[in-house]
Structures are given as structure tokens and as C-alpha cells.
Structure 1
Amino acid sequence: MSSSLLPSTHLLLSSKDRISPFSGQSPLKNLGSSSARALSTRQWKWRCHSSDQEQPPKQKQQRKKPPRRSPTKKSEPNADPVGFLSKKGISDRAFAQFLRERHKAYKDRKFELFSRFIDLKEASAGYEILGMHRHREHRVDYMEWAPGARYCALLGDFNDWSPTENSAREGHLGHDDFGYWFIILEDKLRDGEEPEEYYFQEYNYVDDYDKGDNGINAEELLKKINDEYWEPGEIWPLNSRLELAAKLYEQMFGPNGPQSEEELGEIPDAETRYKEWKETQKNGSDNNLPNYEVIDDGRKFDICSVISDPVTQEKFRAKKPPLAYWIEMRKGRKAWLKKYMPAISHGSRYRVYFNTPDGALERVPAWATYVLPDGNKPYAVYWEPPPEDIYKWKNKHPEVPKSLRIYECHVGISGSEPKISSFKEFTSKVLPHVKNAGYNVIQLIGVIEHKDYSSVGYKVTNFFAVSSRFGTPEDFKCLVDEAHGLGILVFLDIVHSYASADELVGLSLFDGSNDCFFHTGKRGHHKYWGTRLFKYGDVDVLHFLLSNLKWWVTEYQVDGFQFHSLSSMMYTHNGFATFTGEMEEYCNQYVDKDALIYLILANEMLHELHPNIITIAEDASFYPGLCESTTQGGLGFDYCVNFSVSEMWLWLLENVPDQNWSMNKIVSVLVSNQQSSNNMLLYAENHNQSISGGRSFSEILFNRASEQLIGSDDIVFKGSSLHKMIKLITFTISGRAYLNFMGNEFGHPYKVEFPMTSNNYSYTYANRRWDLLTEKGVHSDLFNFDKDMMRLDENEQILLRGLSNVHHVNDSSMVISYIRGPLLFMFNFHPETSYQAYRIGVEEAGEYQIIFNTDEISYGGQGELKSDQYLRRTSTKRSDGCRNSLEVALPCRSAQVGIQIGANFENVNGAATCNSLIINLGLLMEIGMRLTILGAFKDCISSACNGAAVMLVFEGF
């Protein structure tokens, strides 16, 4: 474009193209279509707005250039690669040295990454240019990374599956030195339509009309832009510097040379004429020429040594940028459809074709956003719905809760019928249930596209696509948006630890080479699962994985990730080794340093660009520093999963009669890793316990083998009681987050079994029995209990409290008691013995009120506690090392939660406990507990709390 319009636009024209827009001929018309296209596709990131234009560099002083600094130093001024060791009390020299070496490798990797990308934001924005995208200049651009290919083309419905019609151009116009291929699909002119007059003509594909539809004339627009931007006299010298130089020469030295040999002697020399001309300029002149001083210091000046006038430079910097001519000329969707036929229409199927040293290959594009993986020949689907079908977001992200109550679910098995359920069905039926049950997060597994449905979604084939089995991308956006509207966060179970080994749909042998995305040889294959392992030390693989994380956050508005099976990627033995807790196991030759560096980069990117994002580490090895800051040597996760608790419960239920359970062993497992309690996610059972080959806890406890219960009501009572106690103690004794798998809140009676060859592809156990909630019985009772347990945390903020004080553990009586915050928890696991006056130590004297009881009739219990047993006063008799004690009633296989009345405890928000007490009373009303309010009790509350508030509470009774 003419330099008079946009001084900062990098558009190079030859001398014959440098024509003033007012000379009657526009340089834009002189550009051939191929030249114009080359100019428009030189940059990957399209700048289509004046605010996106690169600003001219500031004037640099001529001084010695400082040495280049590492790009990581600015962002890590106080980085200490071993900082968390002292915090955790770890003093292992070998591990400390490993952390220092890892930090050095991390800085080198980051420097390598930033030599290709500006920052983590750009390194994670690959989805903006890779894959298939509609360009504003009536075309579709496709980019793919395949360094092992020699030839790249697109084939599909749009070109009758021809591998030659739409291919990448030869040389650097078609691919670069890093192996990125670029293909342009031009929209086709309709019959009778003329080609565009200007190569930069853009279209708005969303709105029917835009600014360019008003019949604006390009020449008039350019003149208007010039008139508004330039002051009188500025545009002419800048528009043609050759004309300026010629006119200056003519004014200074007269006509351009003598016309004859006789005239040569009559013309004064150049210096004399320059001085005469300079004298004429002192009194002012109206020729609008700049007052330049000509200095000859013997140097040869060329285009590289021109020094700008600082006054003029500051003047232009202060100017408001001119109107973006391409935006002013942009036309709407109707004009585009009238003039063009789309090169590829919405819903078209396509694949990418490679010519490799080993022959021709057809693959599903790695960056495809919608894929049909089933059948003999899978396809990618071009997803560009019309404006009326594009989902419009309605709700904002909910505020991140301080404690997480996570509901883990799988969309495909979320229906009652034996079939694959959909996003729409999940949105309308399951989300209201999750809200009613009291959970504030849903964690979705199996959402990302996978060919093998029986893999539960963990053998991912297409990392940027939602599973087409469940619906369209717009359907999934609606699910996320509706969850946000209910105040529920949405997490994804993300699998970056391995990928499917499928070659037709997945990334394995993507470009014909064995080392494109994955390691070669045995290193690139999981030892037991038959999956492929990523090459985390490759910059382009990092670009792919980081972009994948950001894609789900930006495109689908998800709120967090659980990183699945980190042990598979952090160790070359894939985590299949015995871990004893020795520090040498975390820094030996089996540790994959590149994988750890990727996890650091992933957490840095996510938390830097999206501060409210939540990341959870699923690592069975308890790698030190999982949830520590990356600047202190950690990996940067917000939470980590504690596997040992669920494994302990499963082992006890399957192998040890409950009368032989050891309370000390149970507590030792539950409170292990107390140092990480503030970042620990616990669960009694998740999907792992009931996936094919296993059994859910309720199936074990109720001894279900068919539709009917085997045994008497005693078996039902026993199973229900243990089910409630296991969940309550797991939920309350430690950790800051809790997870429950879909259906287990009401004791789903059957395992999960996906359709596969071994069961004749049956969907019998690939669903959830929601109908059990409508029947009065054990399942509805368990759901009432679970719902009130969630409400207890919502009101009392149990998960936000500090470490629990386990002060009573007795294997003989099978009683466990602990205090967490102002709450007293008491568990009697004895299968037969009930205690009417069991003594438990407490520090604070006073009265304690039972606010939660697993033996309530509404929860399927027997209701053995009498009304006067809900309130107990302490005695001064010492017990359990405490100054005071309580005598409490503990029915067998039951648990109670109590709170001290009128105590001056501080809650997590710094408010006095009287506020918490009012909430407790409200909770008692909600869950229908039996409570006799004695006069002394009321007086105690009146003296401890505000009188008006107390009256409101008691009026509620």
C-alpha cells in the first residue's frame, strides 16, 4: 500500500508500483494475484485491525548492544529450584542436585521455545493458525505439521477426493524448514461474477452486512483517509521521496544540469548555489518543503544510514493511527455468498494426504476440531456452522469455590437407557441432579475424541475434537454454559501422558515417520497399555500440547483440568515400579526430565493466562513438589489426588471382614501426607473402582449378584452403614477437595462395563440407574445422606479447615474421634457394640450439640439416639490427653458430628462461631434432625449471639 497511508505496514512494492493514490492509478490494482497472495500470507498471525499493527520502533541511540539475556530471567526474579525442600523438611542432596539440573534444563528449554515464539501465550496459540480456518479474504487456510512428508494435499467431498487438486505449493510458499505445510482453498466465483478489484477485499462471515456494503469507492476512501491523517504539505514529500529529492535539487541548484557546453561555464558551482538558496529560505517560504541542512562529512549515505529527524518522528508518533482501509471496505456475509461458492462447506468430510519416503498416506488432521472416528475410513469434518447455529454464550464463569466438591461423570453412560447418552441429555437431566446433590464441580471423562469407546475415553485420538458420539461442538458449549449458569465449574480429565496408537485416526506414524509426535523404539510405547508416549523435549510437540490446553479453555470455557496418569509420563517405567518413598526413586535414571519440564510449562501457561484455572495432578507415586510453586522447584499444580485412600477401602471391603478392621491402620492411611493436606483431593471411590473387572463399593457391601438383594435386611443395613461411614470419614478427616463418581452418591448397585467383544458389545452396564432415586429404599436414603453431607460442608466449610487433630483411635472399641476446626467427629465402626456413655477427650469445656448423625432414619439408619442425647456437657475428667471429656452415645456402625455451643472459635473467614452456630441451626431445620431446645440451651445462645438473630433462628423452628 502507499507509504502515505500506513508508515508501519510492512508492504514492499517495486519502484514501478510506488505510485501516489492521487495519480489516477492505485498500486493495489497493479499487484498480480499471486504477488498479492504471497504478501498476504507471509505472516502467520493476520493483522486485520489498526490496533493490531506493529508500531514503528523507537529511535535507538548508537551505543553498545548489551548481551542477549535468557527470556526466563525476567519472569523468575526470585526462582529457587530447591525452595520447597526446606518447607517440606527434605534434606536429600541427590534430589536437590536433580532439581537444580532440571531447572537449568527448564531454562534451556524455555529459551529454545522462545526462539520460535514470543512468549507462552503465542506458544500455546497454535490452534489459531494450524488446522483449517476461514480467512477473511474469501478463502480457507489449512496448516499442518508433518516434517517427514514430501508432499501435502487436502482431499474430501469438496474436490472429489483428489490428492492433486488442493496441494501445498512448492518451496517456502508451501512449507517451511520446521515441517509446517500451508494450503489455500480459494472460494469459487459464481457464474457471471467478476474477480475482486482489490486483492485485500475482506468479508465478514457472521453479519449479513458490513461497512463495505454501502457502495464505498476505494479511491475516495483512500483520499479521505489521507485527508484526515495528513496535514497540508506532509503527504506530498512522504508520498514520493524521489520527487522530493528532485524538487529540492532543482530549487537549490537550478535546472537539472546545463543544456549546452557553453552554459556550463556560466552556472555557479553547487556550493555557491546552495548558499544562495539557503539565504532565500531565511525570510520564510511558502513551498512547504522541509528545512533540511546539507552536511558533507565525507561519508557515503545510503538507505541503511539515513537518520530520521527526531522532531518529525515524534510528530508522527503522536498522530492517531489512520483508519484501517481493509475494515472500512469489509463486506458482509450476503455479499460473500452472492459472489462466491465456499471452497469447502460446513459439514464437509476431509482428510490430509501425504507423500512420504515410504509411500502415500491419508490421515485425519492432527488439529481437526470435529471427527467421525468410527467406520473403516474415519474423517475430519469441517465445522463452520452458519451464524444462526453458532452457540451464543449466556453465562459467566462462576466464582472459584474455596473448597471443591467434584462430581466425576461420563456423558456416554449418564442415561438410564442402555445406549450412548448425549450432551443434550446430560445437560437437561444430569446437571440439575448435580446441583441438587450439592456438588460445585463436574469433572468430565471421555469428552475428547477417541476411537475406542471401551477405553472410557483415555486412548485419545483427536486432541482438539469433542467426541462426536455425544453430539456437536455447539452441544458441548451449551453443556458448559448451562453448568456455569447453575454455579458449577467444569473440569476435563485431560490425557497428555500418552495417546492412542491408532494410525488411521490418531497421531501414531502421522507423517510416515516414527518420531513425529512420539519417541522412537520402546521408549515411545507404553509398556502395558499399548499406547504411544509423547516426545516432550521437542518444541513442536510442546507447541501442540500447550495449544491443546489453551484450546479447551478458550473455545469451550472449561475451568480446569485433571492431568491423567502422570506416572506414565514422568517415568520411563511408566509408573509400574514399587515406590517406597525413598527420594532416590524421584531422581534416578528412570525419571523423564522432559516430561516434568512440560508439566511446569503447562502450569505456568495456564495460571499466567487464566489465573482462575484449576489444575489437578493424578500421580500414584506422590512425586515431591507436585503442588509447590514452579518458582520454588515445584510443578505448579493446585491439587493432587491421593490414591491410597480408595485403594485401602477397596482392599478392606474385598479381603477383611469389617469386625477385623484396624482403626490405627485406617487412620494412618487417611492422614498420610498431612503436609500436603491443603492441596489433597480425596475420594472413597471414583470410576476406577467400578470399571470393567471391578465392583462398586455398594455392589460389594450389598452383595448384589442380580436384580434382587441376596440376604436379609441386616445385610442392607450393614452395607448402608459402612457406605455412609466410609464416605464421611474420607470426606472430613483430611484434604481440601472431594470427588464422587456419578451414581455412587446413591450407592449405584452395578459396575460399569462398556460395550466390547467380551460382552457382545452390550450396553447393559453402560448406564446409570437413576430410577432407583424415585423408589423409597436404601438408594434414596443414601442419596439423602450424601446430599446433606455436601450441605454440611457448604455451611461449615469443613474442607477449608486446617489439619484435623486425631486424638482418639481405639482398635478394641473400634472408635475414632478427631477435631477439625470447631467440629467434633466421632465414628464407631464396631459391627455389634453400641456405647451409651463412651468417653472422648476434648480441649474446650462446654456443651456440644450433635448436628449430623449417620444413624438418622431418613438416611436408612435405626434412629437409636434419643432426643436428650443430641446435647452433651463436658466434664473435667481428663481423657485422650485433653483437659476435658464428653460422654457420648455411639450406636454401632454409626458416626456423629458435633459442635461446641457458644465457643469462641474462629472460622475460616475470621468471624466468630456465633455466626456459624446460626447456620448450624438452619442446617438442623433443613435435614430434619430431632432437636429438643432446652431453656438453658436457648439462654446460652442468647448470651453468645445477637439477640435479634437468635430470635429469627428460633422463629424458624
Structure 2
Amino acid sequence: METLKLIENDPWLKVHSQVILSRYQEAIQKENELTQGQSLREFANGYNYYGLHRTDDQWIFRDWAPNATAIYLIGECNHWAKEEAYRFQSVGNGNWELVLGHDQLKHGDLYAFHIEWDGGQGTRIPAWVNRAVQDDTTKLFSAQVWGPEQTYQWKNPDFSRGDDAPLVYESHVGMAGEEERVHSYNEFREQVLPRIKAAGYNTVQLMAVPEHPYYGSFGYHVSSFFAPSSRFGTPDELKALIDEAHGMGLAVIMDLVHSHAVKNENEGLGRYDGTRYQFFHDGGKGEHPAWDSYCFNYGKNEVLHFLLSNIRWWLEEFKFDGFRFDGVTSMLYFDHGLGKAFTGYDDYYNANVDVEATTYFYLANKLIHEINPKALSIAEEMSGMPGLASPLADGGLGFDYRMAMGVPDFWIKLIKEVADENWDVGQIFYELTSKRMDEKVVSYAESHDQALVGDKTIIFRLIDKEMYFSMRKDQPNMTVDRGIALHKMIRLITAATAGGSYLNFMGNEFGHPEWIDFPREGNNWSFKHARRLWSIAEDKELRFHWLADFDREMIHWIQDHHVLNIPEVYHRFDNKGDQILAFQRGDYLLVFNFNPVQSFTGYGIPLEASKWKILFDTDEDRFGGQGRIDHSMTYYTKPSGGLTSQHYLNLYLPARTAMVLKKQAFKRVR
């Protein structure tokens, strides 16, 4: 029997080798069935057939609705009336087609489909629509003809993101401004992209791009999978955003929600042709019990065609540089992983795993890298399924990275439940570096999840109500001092130990003081908490800029010196009683004193004979510290006895501080 590298790398998987191999073979068989000798890219071509297309002298609509008995185009072109001249013709295999003259439609026209089936009928936004708009008064959605005379001309058509480790700035366009309203693609391009570039991040992750009826869903209840959300602007304005980011050297990835779809029928895929089972599983299997949404049927070839074509659409039409796949755990397991503790390998290789979903991931990741070998594919997954971020050829599912979702959970638990003086530095290092050796992860202290209403950001957990009363520099406060010190240390140790990539949600780097709460009935439809207050990080009277300045120093260090491209993180020393931790990554040594009260003079860190210079530390005046550490010195290790004995690097380690040192060229005396 063929042995896959995934199994060779992990002896504990041998007992499950038959299941792993069968899943791998099933994915290959499905690929062959779909492609019939073509490439996956050629197969994922649905948007070039379905939807609305304009030729030199006519408009052509095509749709797939196998349960439909009739389809009519209704819209501004015919006063929203069902007319025989606008009736689609059945062309076989559940496909429908309507051909109109070039003068019967124009750019900007609103329209919808009127679909009839045995026993019912309904108005629908076309499944393959690439532009949908919402009426400000009625809140109803319509499709819109998007065919400007001048197509968007790319300024940076050949951008490639390079080989640097992704430093991801997780962003939401609508809440990226200070005003209490929805902000636009153009505003993000003009005002936020320069901030991201200056902060040192190299990858922008855009949330909530595909159209979604409810703003407060954070974009996770998608209705139109091929349409960028019109509440932020036009498709061309999104392209301009991505184009300008590429001009700055920034890659742009998007949250891809193929884990489920909104139940809405008029503007979504729910009962599109009168049946649930067109796109989704029927019955309970097709409803997500926690998300009030429908679950795709990944075993259906037409659904695979739809979803894989969607991937190609965003990569080629908008030149996105990859995806962060949302809800991967939900897709992998029939119980969606809800309330389940994954305690052993048996949990990943039993009847609870949806093999049709593992096949989909194989196909999706192969397609992504076939289109763009440099594209990023990141899995939001919490069960820890082995091989998720291992190469397809090794028997993995082909993601480039998986989210290290246990890291923010660890920080929350530690801050909530353990007093500072009892923080175990050995445990901290273990939790931050524990991962499968054959996978890379995106590490993060917190993301948008921790900033949502009902939860708390790290800065809020550390400072709480003092955030509102004591963030001015002329208001001394020990709680705020503690919070700022730990905020910097937590981010530095999380980023410096990251297993390949690091992520931050916009504004969290400077301790944004407001949680995220989108307009809803419960808050009287307020935008107060759906925005980012950039100005407080620029106000030199406030302390927020200290955190932003430190984050900028940290991220530029990682980016400029390719720190996360160095795979090994070596544990050098820890002392649980003193709460001192030291680890090394390449030529960089990081030393942390988590002790809340005790500073140490001449503290010895055991190393080989070497010399070091401090690059930066969390206690610098410019970062809101006390400036207690001398950067002018060159630090040499000293032997404990003779020259061949253990050497120690003796450092002054103030309480609640961390420092980054760089190894210097050193000629040992013999």
C-alpha cells in the first residue's frame, strides 16, 4: 500500500493510514471525474458561462435552476413586469438562457429573476450575479447590470507577494473610519492602506467582501457569492483598492465563506429554484444549528463547480492574493465540532468526518495554487485535524497555514484566571510554540473575535474601566501602567514565536478602546461601536500611540529581518520562580521578565560564548516605559569558571519588560 509522507512524518497516524489514503484517493478520483482531462482551472470556469454577459450586439443571461418550470427577467427594462419577451428558454440539464438585444439593457439597470416551479414561485437575485444593490428605503436587494464602457485598467497587473512570511492586518472596510457610518473601498484605499504600510504589515485581510444582506453578520451570512458588497462601493473601487495595495507591496487576501450561506430566499440561494437541495443538503444536515444558515452539499458536482468557480473569480477578476477560509471545522464534521473536545486522533478518522468536505478542500487548494502558486490559503480551524496545512502530495489538505486558534484562548484564560505573579513562563512558551512540525500556523494574540461585543480585547481585560478615565499621560495610574506593559509583552512574545505568520485586527495594535458592535435593534441601530478611532493613536496627549509605536517597531523588525522565515524557535532558559524566559530565533535573543514586582540586576542567561546588542525593548520611553535599560552597551557572555565552562549573558531585567537582542560577530579568544 502507498505510504504518504503525512503518515511517515507522524508514526501515530499509521493506525489510521487506510482512512487517510482512502480520503486522498477519493479526492483524486473526484478531480478526475470533474476535469475529464482538463485542468481544475478550466473546470472552474462557471462564471464565464452563467450570469449576465455582453457581446458586441447582445446580452446573454444563463442560469442553472433544475427544478424551475419557467424563469422571467423582470426589472427596469420592462417595468418589473413578467413578459413573454423576457422569458428564458430551457437549454437542457437544468440550464436556462435568455438573449436580448444590446438596446434592451444598459449599464446600471436594476433587475431580478422571477422563477416558477411546481407549486410555487418567487423573485430571486441571480445566483451568479456580480453586482447587487440594496434600496435605502425598502432595504430590498436587486441585481444591477454591471458593464461600464471602460473596464478597469490595472496599474500593477503582475504583482506577486513574494516569499516573506505573512504579517496580516485583519480589516473590515465598513468600520475602518472614524465616523458613525459605513465607510467605503475608496476611503480604505486612501486612508487605511497607508497606515498598514507604515505599520510594517505586508498582507491585508479583508472581511465581509461578498454581498451579505445583514451588515451586522460581519460578512459571514453571504447571499451573493460573486458580488463584492455594494454598501462599500463599486467593483471597480474594490479593484482600485487591491491595485493600490499591490503598488505598495501589500498582498490582499479575503475571508472566503464557503462553509454556509444565508437562508434568505429573495436575495440569497435559499430555495433558489423552489428546492433546498439545489445547493444545500436537505433536512437537518443542511441547516447549521448555531449559525441559522444553510450548509452546502459538497458531494454535488454542480455545487463544487459553483464554489470552485467562485475561487477562480476572486483570484482572477479581482486579483486577490488568496483566502482565509472561514468555518473549516464546521465543514469537516457532521456535528460541526460544536461543543466537542478533540482529545485524540480517533476523532479525526471516524464517521463524523465529512469526506466530501475534505475532498472539496483538496480541490480548492489545488485550484488556488494552480492559478497562483504564490497565493495564500489559510484555514480557520480549531479541531487540530492532522495534515490540514500539509501539502496535497503528502496526503494533506493543502492549506498553506492554519489559524493558531488556541493562542488567543490561552491568553484570555491566563489573564482572567491567573494572577500575574503565578504566570508560568515555561507554559507560556510551550503554548505559543506547540504545533505540528509539518504545518505552519498564523499566530495571533487576538483577532476580531475577541473584539466583538460580549467578549473583551486584551487591553480591556488588562485595564477595564480605566480605559475611559486614565489614558491621558498626565493621569498616573498603576492599572494602566500594568496593562500597557503586558500588552506589549504579550504581542512581542506571540509574534516572535509565531509558527510562520502573525495576525492583528485593525486598531488592536494600539489598544483600541471600543468593542465591535454593528448596528442592530439591540443598540438602537447605532454605528458608535462599528468604527475605528485612529485619531487617539495620533494624539500625543494620550498613551495609545505608545502601543502603536511599539507595534510598528516590532513588526518592522520582523518584516525587515525576515524573522518568521526562520523556522526554529530555540528555548534557551526559563525560571518559573523568577518568571524569566529566554528564547532564540536565528541571531535574535528575546528575554522576558514577567515578574510583576521584581527587577533583576546581572541576571545570567546561559548561552555559548557570544556578544549581543539590544535592538529595542518594551521599557523604552518612546513606548511608555521607564527607560531603564541601557542600549549603548555591547553585552558579552562571561564564563562561570574557565573559558570552556558555561557562559552566561548577564542582563538587567526590570519587572514586566522584554528585550530583543541581536547576536554580533564574535571572535573567541583561545
Contact 2:72-2:88 at 8 Å conserved across structures:
no
> Which residue does the alignment assign to 2:45?
125
Structure number with the higher strand fraction is 2
1:763 to 527, 546, 561: 527
Native 8 Å contact 1:154 1:166 kept in 2: no
Show CA shifts across 1:356-395 (max 9, x none): 01211210001111112453532111101122xx322112
2:628 maps to 864
Residue of structure 2 in register with 1:718 after alignment: 482
CA contact under 8 A between 2:161 and 2:250: conserved in structure 1? no
Q: Quote the sequence identity (%).
A: 35
Q: Give, in angstroms, the shift of residue 854 of structure 1.
A: 0.9
Residue of structure 2 aligned with 1:397, choices 131, 137, 159: 159
Cα offset, 1:183, TM superposition: 1.2
Q: How does 1:662-673 map to 2 (within 5 A)?
A: 662-673=424-435
Please say if residues 112 and 539 of structure 1, whose CA atoms lie closer than 8 Å, have aligned partners that are also in contact: no
Give the conservation status (yes or no) of the 8 Å contact 1:354–1:361. yes
Q: CA deviation at 1:705?
A: 6.3
Flag structure 1 segments of 5+ consecutive residues without an equivalent: 1-78, 188-341, 905-939, 944-957
User: Could you report, residue by residue, the CA deviation over 1:681-731 in whole angstroms, capped at 9, with x for unpaired residues?
Assistant: 101111000112112111222223673238942122111100000000001
Amino acid at match of 2:32: F
Which residue of structure 1 aligns with residue 91 of structure 2? Answer: 175
- 1:134 equivalent in structure 2: 54
The answer to whether residue 354 in structure 2 is matched with residue 592 in structure 1 is yes
Which one is further off, 161-170 or 101-110?
161-170
Report if aligned partners of 1:728, 1:789 keep a CA contact under 8 Å in 2.
yes
Contact 2:31–2:40 (Cα < 8 Å) also in 1: no
SS of the residue aligned with 2:288? coil
Match of 2:21 in 1: 100
Instruction: Give the alignment partner of residue 561 of structure 2, picking from 796, 802, 806.
Output: 796
Q: Distance in 2 between matches of 1:80 and 1:437?
A: 48
Distance 2:561 2:422 in 1: 33
- Following the alignment from structure 2 to structure 1, what is the Cα–Cα distance between the partners of residues 435 and 86? 57
CA contact (8 A) 1:397 1:484 kept: yes
Q: Is residue 163 from structure 1 mapped to residue 75 from structure 2 by the alignment? A: no
Shift of 1:858: 0.3
Is 1:569 the counterpart of 2:485? The answer is no
Partner of 1:531: 293
Distance 2:620 2:2 in 1: 53
- C-alpha distance in 1 between matches for 2:274 and 2:35: 28
| C-alpha distance after superposition, 1:212-246 (max 9, x if no partner) | xxxxxxxxxxxxxxxxxxxxxxxxxxxxxxxxxxx
1:103, distance to aligned residue in structure 2 (A): 2.5
- Residues 654-705 of structure 1 show CA distances to partners (whole Å, capped at 9, x for unaligned) of 232222222222122111115146x111011110001121121112222236
Tell me the SS of whatever aligns to 1:635.
coil
Residues 676 and 643 of structure 1: CA distance in aligned 2, closer, same or farther (over 3 Å): farther
2:101 aligns with 186
Q: Give, in whole Å, the separation in 2 of the partners of 1:118 and 1:167.
A: 35
Distance in 2 (CA, whole Å) between partners of 1:882 and 1:467 is 65
Among candidates 70, 79, 90, match of residue 151 of structure 1: 70
Match of 2:383 in 1: 621
What's the counterpart of residue 416 of structure 2? Answer: 654
- Rounded to whole Å, the distance in 2 between the matches of 1:750 and 1:421 is 17
Counterpart of 1:692 in structure 2 is: 453
Structure 1 residue 151: Cα displacement: 1.2
Q: How far has the Cα of 1:530 moved from its partner?
A: 0.8
Map 1:820-839; keep pairs closer than 5 Å.
Answer: 820-839=585-604
Does the aligned pair in 1 maintain the 2:70–2:88 contact within 8 Å?
A: no
Q: Is the 8 A contact 1:404 1:736 kept in 2?
A: yes
Offset at residue 169 of structure 1 (A): 5.5
Structure 1 residues 562, 683: CA separation in 2 closer, same or farther (over 3 Å shift)?
same
Q: Does 1:110 align with 2:26?
A: no
Taking the TM superposition and a 5 Å limit, the aligned residue runs for 1:223-262 are none
TM-score normalised to structure 2 length? 0.95
Q: Secondary structure, in 3 states, of the residue corresponding to 1:90?
A: helix
Please give the secondary structure, in 1, of the residue aligned with 2:188. helix
Give the corresponding residue for 1:896: 659
Determine which of 813, 834, 859 is the counterpart of 2:578. 813
**SS of the residue 1:886 aligns to:** strand
Q: Deviation digits for residues 176-198 of structure 1, max 9, x if unmatched?
A: 12x111111123xxxxxxxxxxx
Q: Which residue of 2 aligns with 1:744?
A: 508
Partner of 1:442: 204
1:382 pairs with 2:145? yes
Cα deviation 1:135-161 (Å, max 9, x = unaligned) = 23x110111111111112211111222
SS of aligned partner of 1:597: helix
Q: Which amino acid aligns with 1:791?
A: H
RMSD of equivalent CA atoms: 2.1
Structure 1 position 90, deviation (Å): 3.0
- Contact 2:50 2:63 survives alignment (8 Å): yes
Does the 8 A contact of 2:322 with 2:368 survive in 1?
A: no
Flag the 1:169–1:391 CA change in 2: closer, same or farther, 3 A.
closer
- Matched residues in 2 for 1:882 and 1:641: separation? 42
SS of match in other structure, 1:864: coil
Cα separation, 1, equivalents of 2:78 and 2:127: 20
Query: Residue 854 of structure 1 aligns with which residue?
Result: 618
| Cα drift, residue 822 of structure 1 | 1.2
Whole-angstrom CA distance in 1 between matches of 2:23 and 2:370: 21
Which residue does the alignment assign to 2:260? Answer: 498
Q: Distance in 1 between matches of 2:143 and 2:276?
A: 22
Q: What SS class does the counterpart of residue 412 from structure 1 fall into? A: coil
1:88 is matched with 10
Contact 2:334–2:352 under 8 Å retained in 1: yes
> In the TM superposition, what are the counterparts of 1:941-952 in structure 2 within 5 Å?
none
Q: CA deviation at 1:118?
A: 3.4
Q: What are the superposed Cα offsets for residues 933-952 of structure 1, whole Å, 9 maximum, x if unpaired?
A: xxxxxxx9xx9xxxxxxxxx
Q: CA deviation at 1:754?
A: 0.7
CA distance in 2, matches of 1:373, 1:98: 47
| 1:405-424 deviation digits (Å, cap 9, x = unpaired) | 11110001000111111111
Q: 2:130 aligns with which of 341, 346, 369?
A: 369
Mapped to 1, the partners of 2:142 and 2:355 lie a distance apart of 36
Distance 1:628 1:882, change over 3 A: farther
Q: Closer, same or farther in 2 for the Cα pair 1:674/1:722, shift >3 Å?
A: farther
Q: Distance in 2 between matches of 1:745 and 1:472?
A: 30
Tell me which structure has the larger Cα radius of gyration: 1
Encode CA deviations 1:531-555: one digit per residue, 9 max, x unaligned: 1110001111000000001101111
Specify the alignment match of 1:481 in structure 2. Answer: 243
1:109: Cα distance to partner?
1.7
TM-score (norm 1): 0.67
Residues 905-957 of structure 1: CA distance to partner in whole angstroms, max 9, x if unpaired?
Answer: xxxxxxxxxxxxxxxxxxxxxxxxxxxxxxxxxxx9xx9xxxxxxxxxxxxxx
Which whole-Å CA distance do the structure 1 matches of 2:33 and 2:196 have between them?
A: 45
Shift of 1:787: 0.6
Matched residue of 1:766: which SS?
Answer: coil
Paired with 1:539 and 1:348, the residues of 2 have a C-alpha distance of 33
What SS does structure 1 have at the residue aligned with 2:468? coil
Deviation at 1:80, TM superposition (A): 5.4
- 2: CA distance between counterparts of 1:830 and 1:544? 55
Deviations 1:76-123 (A, max 9, x none): xxx957321112333432x211112212322332233135x8331222
Q: Deviations over 1:314-354 (max 9, x none)?
A: xxxxxxxxxxxxxxxxxxxxxxxxxxxx2211111111121
| Contact 2:499–2:567 (CA under 8 A) maintained in structure 1 | no
The number of residue pairs the alignment matches comes to 661
Aligned to 2:543: 778
